[in-house]
Amino acid sequence: MVTAADWYDVALASDGSKAMLLLEESPWLPMYRAAMSLIPATDQPIVDLGCGTGRFARLLVDEGFSNVSGMDFSRKAVAEASRYVPEAIFGVQDLREFVVNDEIEGGTVFTCLEVLEHLEDDLDLVSRIPAGLRLVFSVPNYWSESHLRRFIGPRDVFDRYSSLLEFDAWQMITMTTSHAIHVFRTRRRADCL
């Protein structure tokens, strides 16, 4: 039986995958830069939920962020991330089972780039971010074979996540004439516990 993790092992970490391109060749580099610009200059931990092959982590480390970690349920993607960004810490973790440990620092920033549209239980993942902590995330305005939803405009995103998140910044990154990615900086609401 082929699992979702198996599918992503092939989709993310096989030869010819766009996710295996070097950072400077990645089609997602503009989105990575936009997301990074929304992270406060800090030495606090950054936890990349659904880190894939580590290209965003590479950008963070290259730009001076010193406490970067990531997790993904694709073993091959995590192996590639560990090879590509040895300065960061990566682990295999199914985000549907992710639990924040009690030792999380108050300034931790969570990132979740091009992940939420793939999860049936995206709201559950967002609800597990500790109250008051930052979440920088992206979602697309277009369909792809693995997308369960798309977000035409920011109102669609607010409607889905505003019960859990306070929004304070938004950027739209144009990928092609019909494809764009919304990037948001948010804080996990404390009034919805």
pLDDT tens profile 138-186: 999 888 888 889 889 999 999 999 999 999 999 999 988 889 999 999 9
User: Which of the residue ranges 48-62, 117-131, 140-154 would you say has the lowest mean pLDDT?
Assistant: 140-154
Tell me what pLDDT residue 34 has: 97
- Flag whether 17 is in a domain: no
Which pLDDT belongs to residue 25?
95
- For residue 178, give the CATH number of its domain: 3.40.50.150
Residue 8 has pLDDT above 90, yes or no: no
Position with higher pLDDT, 150 vs 110? 110
**Is pLDDT above 70 for 112?**
yes
Number of domains into which the chain is organized = 1
What pLDDT was estimated at residue 2? Answer: 42
Residue 109: inside a domain: yes
pLDDT at 64 over 80: yes
Answer with the residue of higher pLDDT: 135 or 143: 135
Q: What percent of the chain has pLDDT over 90?
A: 70
DSSP the chain: ---HHHHHHHHHHSTT-GGGS-GGG-TTHHHHHHHHHTS-S-SS-EEEET-TTSHHHHHHHHTT---EEEEES-HHHHHHHHHH-TTSEEEE--GGG----TT--TT-EEEE-S-GGG-TTHHHHHHTSPTT-EEEEEEESS--TT-S---SSHHHHHHHHTTTEEEEEEEEEE-SSS-EEEEEEEEE-STT-
pLDDT at residue 72 greater than cutoff 60: yes
| 58 inside domain | yes
Answer whether residue 110 is part of any domain. yes
Domain range for residue 157?
4-11+27-188
Kindly state whether residue 22 falls inside one of the protein's structural domains: no
On whether residue 21 sits in a domain, the answer given is no
Q: Does the pLDDT of residue 74 top 60, yes or no?
A: yes
Question: Whole-model pTM?
Answer: 0.91
pLDDT of 81 strictly over 80: yes
Q: Does residue 19 lie in a domain region?
A: no
Q: State mean pLDDT over 67-71.
A: 96
What mean pLDDT, rounded, does the chain reach?
90
